Amino acid sequence: MEFGEVLKTRRSIRKFTQQQIPDGELTELVDFARYAPAAANIQPLKYAVVSGKNACAKIFPHTKWAKLLAERGTPAPGEEPTAYIIVMSDIHKRMNSEADAAFAIENIVLAAWEKGIGSCILGSINREQIAQIINMPDGYEINYAVALGYPKQQSFAEEAAQSVAYYMDDNGDVHVPKRKLDEIMYFVD
Ligand SMILES: Cc1cc2nc3c(=O)[nH]c(=O)nc-3n(C[C@H](O)[C@H](O)[C@H](O)COP(=O)(O)O)c2cc1C
């Protein structure tokens, strides 16, 4: 896929086939994250890759999905993520770690999409519970979880008219209005 197409067609996916993602692919996603920009190049991030069925089943109850789609946005039984990458940061190196996590996560979700893997960044998570499940090292805190799996759902960006609220149509496809370019940018001569 051409790079611009990856950028424009990646959407949050919240329903997944149960085909496992090979561990090598997950490792490669973290490797891509490693090359992301990092403030002062301090690199405070660490990644827990959750790929086992049992561990994924333990994480799922501590996640929340697509508030705007109500229960239709949550993966039904048999549609759950088959892997998670939990992004953590060193609490002693907090300055800009949120931004660092965001850049790293962008590498993960774009590289995943290019491989045909769907993803959803999860901020609405029970960090305390997930920290226990992943045996989080001392001195770290969880920034976000990235849910991953092969897509069992389609989602399309569209030009926003009035509302930017994403919605699901009768086919179960998701539509994500993006603000128009002329609304969000201007040139300074
Ligand atoms: C920081 C952040 C936190 C998010 N947290 C959640 C979440 O907890 N649950 C969820 O279903 N989606 C979550 N999302 C996904 C957004 O809802 C999604 O990116 C947005 O609706 C735009 O859709 P798109 O990713 O398909 O372009 C999060 C996204 C970001 C950037």
**Ligand 1 near 6 CB (within 6 A):** no
113 in ligand 1 pocket by Cβ < 6 Å?
no
The model's confidence at residue 70, banded by pLDDT at 50, 70 and 90, is confident
Ligand 1 atom with the smallest distance to the CA of 178 is 27
Topology classification of domain 3-155: NADH Oxidase (3.40.109)
Span 105-114, pLDDT tens digits: 999 999 999 9
Q: Distance, CA 120 to ligand 1 centroid (Å)?
A: 6
Question: Which residue CA neighbors atom 28 of ligand 1 most closely?
Answer: 121
Q: What's the CA-to-centroid distance between 106 and ligand 1, angstroms? A: 12
Taking the centre of ligand 1 as the mean of its atom positions, its distance from the CA of residue 14, in whole angstroms, is 10
Mean pLDDT rounded to a whole number for the chain? 97
pLDDT tens digits for range 10-37:
999 999 999 999 999 999 999 999 999 9
Taking only the tens place, the pLDDT of each residue in 126-164 is 999 999 999 999 999 999 999 999 999 999 999 999 899
Per-residue pLDDT tens digits for 161-176 = 989 999 999 999 999 9
- Residue 105 Cβ inside 6 Å of ligand 1? The answer reads no
Our answer on whether the CB atom of 16 is closer than 6 Å to any ligand 1 atom is no
Q: Are 155 and 173 in contact (CB under 8 A)?
A: yes
Domains of the chain, residue spans = 3-155
Report pLDDT digits (tens) over 43-69.
Answer: 999 999 999 999 999 999 999 999 889
